[in-house]
Amino acid sequence: MHSTAPAGESARSPWSTEPELPPDGTPAAAARTTAAPTATGPTTAGPTTAGLTGSRTAADLGFEPRSVLVDLRAATARTLDELAADLDELRPLLAVDSNAEAQYVSTTRRLVAAEQTARDIDAAIERVGDGTYGYCTTCTAPIPAARLELRPHTSRCVSCG
Ligand SMILES: [Zn+2]
């Protein structure tokens, strides 16, 4: 009584040896890109506001920026008036007084600097308004309070100069 059926052959189908392919390492979810591409970001504006964590407060700074800046702006306006008056006085002397020219040049230089200061103060007052005062306009790092106290209209941190 011999069985002619080849033993085991029915159980050994070539297809049955691979029950399920194991997942090939990464689940589909992990393959998805979660980080947005940064290379194609907007190129319109210079400094990003991503580093800004909120308006600097008077408690944080040790002074109330708007009132300090408004006072400084008023003082700068007075300086501008004085320098302009000085130039008016010097102008007629230019032809007759050899010292007048040097004074005129140095006074003009001071006037130009004061005009720049006035613009810087105006810009700083605007930054108080939009909540970006006290942050570097270049790298958005918070500017140390001591630096701001010394020069309230400064717009950059020490590193960005
Ligand atoms: Zn900076």
At 114-160, the pLDDT tens digits run 999 999 999 999 999 999 999 999 999 999 999 999 999 999 999 99
Q: Rounded to two decimals, what is the model's pTM? A: 0.66
Q: What is the CATH number of domain 58-150?
A: 1.20.120.910
How many whole angstroms from 153 Cα to the centroid of ligand 1?
14
> 53 C-alpha vs ligand 1 centroid, how far in Å?
15
For the purposes of burial, counting CB atoms within 10 Å of the CB of 42, is it exposed (0-12), middle (13-18) or buried (19 or more)? exposed
Nearest C-alpha neighbor of 138 from the set 70, 23, 47, 28: 47
Q: Look at residue 137 and give its three-state secondary structure.
A: coil
Domain locations in the chain as residue ranges: 58-150
